[in-house]
Amino acid sequence: MAEKGSLAVDGVSLTVAAADGTACEIALIPHTLRATVAGAYAPGTRVNLEVDLVARYLARLLEDAGVPGRAR
pLDDT averaged over consecutive 10-residue blocks of the chain (72 residues)?
Answer: 84 89 86 92 93 76 75 47
Residue 30 included in any domain: yes
pTM of the predicted model as reported, rounded to 2 decimal places:
0.64
Dist CA 1 CA 23 (whole Å):
9
Residue 25 included in any domain: yes
Grouping H, G, I as helix, E, B as strand and the rest as coil, residue 41 is: coil
Residue 1 included in any domain: no
Residue 72 included in any domain: no
Are the CB atoms for 72 and 22 separated by under 8 Å? yes
User: Is 48 buried (19+), middle (13-18) or exposed (0-12) by CB count in 10 A?
Assistant: exposed
